[in-house]
Structure 1
């Protein structure tokens, strides 16, 4: 079991007291498995993804990632998980503006000490980025930037790829193309995929689905 979530609860403070965003959520994901989590805006999808990525703390329950419990981990241990086990792709791309395409692609793999030049070259070609290696992020289209973000995440060969509305800023045709590339490359790399989306069309492309409603798995 690569990811195991047990009775997870997360609350945010509000004017009328702590408000539960996630309530008793349990979910699991095997190595190499792909899962799409759907739900309305505000249902807690992104919150759950951030908790899995050790970007925030939860109030009750447990998350185990690659056999390691996340509760009580210090920031250095959380950073190590994000460096070595988990990679994230967000809707906003989050490329480093002062780095070229080639440098962005290699960035996380270099931090993890797992830079494989041949794999980066293959990703560059598969993602249609040949000839763009020396460009800056601001010189790319939205679709090109998202392809760089996906390549950067997969270059380190993560065990789990977390993707939060990764095609939300793209038109439908570009979205379909980028999603197809991501699914092919995830399968090729052997990573598991946890994809958050509000789109039933996109979720239908992923092998397994779960739905989050009012903070619980429906």
Structure 2
């Protein structure tokens, strides 16, 4: 099993009392599998994704990725995990404005010491970015920026790809095209995909689906 989440609880402190966003959440994800997480706005979908991405800490329970337990990792270990084993695609793209398309795509792989030019060339070709490599993010459409973000995430060949509403800013046609590319590339690289979405149509394209409501998975 690639990813194991066991009885994870996350509480945010309010003015008068703590608010449990996640309550005893458990799930497993195997290598190469795809999982969609749905739920109403504010249900904790992004919170769970951020916990799995080692971007936040949980109150109780445990998360294990490739045999590494998050609770045993300090800040340095969590940063290394994000750099070497995980990749994230956000709704807001988060491209580096001062870097070209090619530099953005290769940024994470170079940072992780996992740059493979042949794989990068394949990604750029499959993502339809071959004629855009010298452009900067501000010169791209939303769909093009999202494809660059996906390329950057997959360039290091991560074991786990986390995607938070990756097509939320795109129209329906662009959303389906980007999802098609993401699923094809994930399948080719053997990467597992954990995707948060409000769209049942998108969720139905993945192998497995879970719904988060009231802090519990259904």
Interval of TM-score (by shorter of Structure 1 and Structure 2): over 0.9
What are the within-5 Å matches in structure 2 for residues 176-187 of structure 1?
176-187=176-187
Offset at residue 72 of structure 1 (A): 3.9
Residue 203 of structure 2 is matched in structure 1 by 203
Equivalences for residues 118-129 of structure 1 within 5 A: 118-129=118-129
Deviations 1:49-84 (A, max 9, x none): 000000001000000011111014211111100111
Aligned to 1:77: 77
CA distance in structure 2 between the partners assigned to 1:133 and 1:64 by the alignment: 37
TM-score (norm 1): 0.99
Distance 2:204 2:49 in 1: 19
TM-score, structure 2 normalization: 0.99
**What is the number of residues matched between the two proteins?**
218
Structure 2 counterpart of 1:154: 154
Helix, strand or coil at the partner of 1:43: coil
Aligned partner of 2:14 in structure 1 is: 14
Cα distance in 2, alignment partners of residues 63 and 151 from structure 1:
26
Give the CA RMSD over aligned residues.
Answer: 0.6
4+ aligned runs moved over 2 Å, structure 1: none
**Unpaired segments of 5 or more residues in structure 2?**
none
Return the alpha-carbon distance in structure 1 between the equivalents of residues 97 and 72 of structure 2: 34
1:22-37 to 2 correspondences below 5 Å: 22-37=22-37
Give the superposition deviation at 1:214: 1.2
State the Cα distance separating 1:15 from its structure 2 match.
Answer: 1.5
Match of 2:103 in 1: 103
Which aligned pairs between 1:182-193 and structure 2 lie closer than 5 A? 182-193=182-193
Partner Cα separation in structure 2 for residue 49 and residue 73 of structure 1: 18
3-state SS of paired residue (1:71): helix
Q: What does residue 171 of structure 1 align with? A: 171
1:115 alignment counterpart: 115
Distance in 2 of aligned mates of 1:15 and 1:201: 38
